[in-house]
Structure 1
Amino acid sequence: MRTQTRPNLSPIEWFIMALVTVGAINWGLVGLEGFVGGNLNLVNLLFGSVSTIEYSVYLLVGLAGLSILVTGIRRYRSPAEDAAEIEHTEPAR
């Protein structure tokens, strides 16, 4: 019998994952738009008349992507890299 483990994500991490997912889907639709024509940019369709909100959504998606990148780097670093960083940042005695 296999047991499945799920990562314990905080509400902020869920929000970040949702933003990155929305951004990925939106970019996929923008790419599809190049082949089929029309405006498939969901953010633009939802908030197009209010450009400040549209650009704010883009900014949040970008920040969420950077957050995912930093989190991934921190989680998958080797113990040797962590030890080297701790050794390097300790104050001299």
Structure 2
Amino acid sequence: MEDTIKITADELKTYIERVEKLEQEKKDIQDHIREVYAKAADKGFDVKVMKQVVKLRKIDEDDREEQEMLLDTYKRALGMINEENNVT
């Protein structure tokens, strides 16, 4: 019984240590991403727009087109689009 508890404790410790290592790697990657955005901002790029583009590129093309169409529909309904200048 004591051997079983020790094996289970060792296994748990291994999982915890793996998660901790991955969390550190995730933090390091997030730091690198922040650095890239900071460099882009220094070159004059709009970071907010860049983040939107990154988000859009993750979405399936059909889903993205559907979302853009819905957004356009909602903006029209709210009078946010000038119909004379909008060519679709």
Structure having the larger proportion of residues in helix: 2
Shorter chain as normaliser: what TM range?
Answer: 0.3 to 0.5
Structure-1-length-normalised TM-score: 0.34
Structure having greater relative contact order (Cα 8 Å, sep ≥ 6): 1
Structure 2 length-normalised TM? 0.36
